[in-house]
């Protein structure tokens, strides 16, 4: 396995973070991490194939949203809250405050 990516938060572009967060699967991962503190990849996969999730975790890492550390055979993920709050103040809070990702109304 190649070295884990952990970009300097100052090298991350806003567009990059917004893009990473714009995918419902990844947004759901971020929400869960915000609520639960940290979790392994398998806990967060929602039944999706490992290869699909591995892709999403890579996007989350490259965009500075998530840090992954190796803990035995599993990988524990956590939000880079401090880094993000410093680099993009209020952004993560606003995203997490938005509740679920779907429309606020169920019907018209």
Partner DNA sequence: TTGATAGTTCGATAATAATCGAACATTGAT
Partner DNA sequence: ATCAATGTTCGATTATTATCGAACTATCAA
The β-bridge relationship of strands 66-71 and 74-79 is antiparallel
Applying the rule CB under 7 A, the residues between 42 and 61 that interact with DNA are 42-43, 48-59
Q: Find the binder of a copy of itself among 49, 72, 73, 108 (CB under 8 A).
A: 108
Among a copy of itself, DNA, none, what binds residue 108 when CB lies within 5 to 8 Å by partner kind? Answer: a copy of itself
Told to check if 74 binds a copy of itself by CB under 8 A, we report no
Closest distance of CB 9 from DNA, Å: 19
Q: Find the binder of DNA among 9, 38, 40, 78 (CB under 7 A).
A: 40
The b/e string for 59-84 (b: 16+ C-beta within 10 A; e otherwise) is bbbebbbbbbeeeeeebbbebbeebb
Q: How many angstroms separate the CA atoms of 30 and 39, rounded?
A: 11
The whole-angstrom distance between residue 66's C-alpha and the CA centroid of its chain comes to: 5
Q: Which residues of this chain interact with DNA, rule CB under 7 A? A: 1-2, 19, 23, 25, 40-43, 48-59, 68, 70, 72-75
């Amino acid at each position: 396995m190649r070295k884990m990516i952990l970009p300097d938060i100052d090298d991350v572009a806003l567009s990059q973070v917004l893009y990473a967060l714009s995918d419902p699967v990844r947004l759901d991962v971020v929400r869960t991490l915000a609520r639960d503190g940290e979790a392994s990849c398998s806990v967060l996969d929602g039944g999706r194939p490992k290869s699909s999730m591995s892709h999403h975790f890579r996007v989350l890492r490259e965009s500075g949203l998530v840090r992954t550390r190796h803990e035995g055979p599993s990988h524990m993920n956590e939000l880079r809250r401090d880094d993000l709050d410093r680099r993009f103040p209020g952004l993560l809070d606003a995203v997490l405050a938005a509740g679920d990702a779907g429309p606020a109304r169920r019907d018209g």
